[in-house]
Structure 1
């Protein structure tokens, strides 16, 4: 079954697709919900720094926990339901670039890729942020992030993309 879930309220875009071995009939409404937790942790290595421009290589782990449910309402016969409750972790590798703008303000970009069939088939994340240094170790960040993954298990498959703004307080150690 392939179905598109309704867009949630708020600014964040969520575009999940769930699949089953047997396709659903076209034109029938589907309703559902997705609850998700994602955490990314990295070790960074400063590959280079020149006149404030810094390039870091990163390696780490992104963990997911997903609870998805879709219900097909055919109007003829019984309703069909698909549920997926899974947790997995992906190894991730990427790059982060930081450039000074003015004073304590920096622009930062990050791109990482993961999965490689070990957790999900593929996951990736891109983000751009402005970083305001509050001291030597603390900063306030505003940015925009896009995260996508494609997970397969047996006949089940979950593809999801999420995009939206974020705010963060960061402690560097």
Structure 2
């Protein structure tokens, strides 16, 4: 995923105010992925429960800071998954690391370990500031790094049983522009929406994200939020394909300093 969950607005413009928000994102995933240059493009459509079955570790955190009309937003995501399947028979193709072309009719057992890191960094300026509404204009970059390791076992009468491991990593950065709106409803309740778009062929052909949350301020140091987040990225370069759409509810706890 893009931006994370961040809440209440500082009342004192003479100092830096910082908010840190660890959050959970119950995202499903659909799209097309080719983690290896010589591998096939795989279509995937997983609900959050399917993603959770493969999950080894997942962490999400958001940083928001403001001084006067100047703002900064940082969001990070790290996910580690393992997906193991038995596949076959398959058409003939080359699996990196096995050293032979897998013949037609072979049965394949594959385990794929994947690590994904994404960070979105944006700075901006508050272009509208009223007691009932604020609007920030943002610009920055979204950085991706994806690492995959596959362990493959192939069985066929022509080659016997072959086992191999192979790994590849790739990454890119996308320029972004976005907006963030904040609407206080009462002293405790507020609404927030944030959106960005970018890519423009610099890394991905296209990327965008949107987030909307309802927020409750417990006290000056603690707030709670719940909402919905969606992230799209379409990357296809040098044989690597990562064309996915992630979406689902988010909940977060914000600590304010």
Query: TM-score, normalized by length of structure 1?
Result: 0.71
Match of 2:127 in 1: 47
Match of 2:29 in 1: 14
CA offset digits 1:107-135 (Å, max 9, x no partner): 00111012111122211110001233355
Which stretch of structure 1 is more off in the superposition, 101-110 or 82-91?
Answer: 82-91
Extract unaligned runs of 5+ from structure 1: 1-9
Match of 2:176 in 1: 92
Match of 1:59 in 2: 139
Count of matched residue positions in the alignment of Structure 1 and Structure 2: 163
User: For 1:1-173, what aligned pairs fall within 5 Å after superposition?
Assistant: 11-19=26-34, 34-68=114-148, 85-134=169-218, 139-166=223-250, 167-171=252-256
CA distance 1:120–1:82, shift in 2 (3 Å)? farther
CA distance 1:131–1:36, shift in 2 (3 Å)? same
The structural deviation recorded for 1:32 is 5.2
Provide the secondary structure at the position in 2 that maps to 1:102. Answer: coil
CA distance 1:48–1:101, shift in 2 (3 Å)? same
CA offset digits 1:64-98 (Å, max 9, x no partner): 112346899999899xx997521222121111111
Provide the secondary structure at the position in 1 that maps to 2:246. Answer: strand
> Any conservation in 1 of the 2:220–2:256 contact (CA below 8 Å)?
no
The structural deviation recorded for 1:155 is 2.9
Q: Which runs of 4+ in 1 moved over 4 A?
A: 19-24, 27-34, 68-78, 81-84, 134-138
Query: TM-score, normalized by length of structure 2?
Result: 0.50
Extract unaligned runs of 5+ from structure 2: 1-24, 42-88, 91-107
Which stretch of structure 1 is more off in the superposition, 142-151 or 126-135?
Answer: 126-135
Provide the secondary structure at the position in 1 that maps to 2:185. Answer: strand
Which stretch of structure 1 is more off in the superposition, 34-43 or 129-138?
Answer: 129-138
Cα distance in 1 between the residues matched to 2:141 and 2:218: 28
Structure whose alpha-carbon radius of gyration is higher:
2
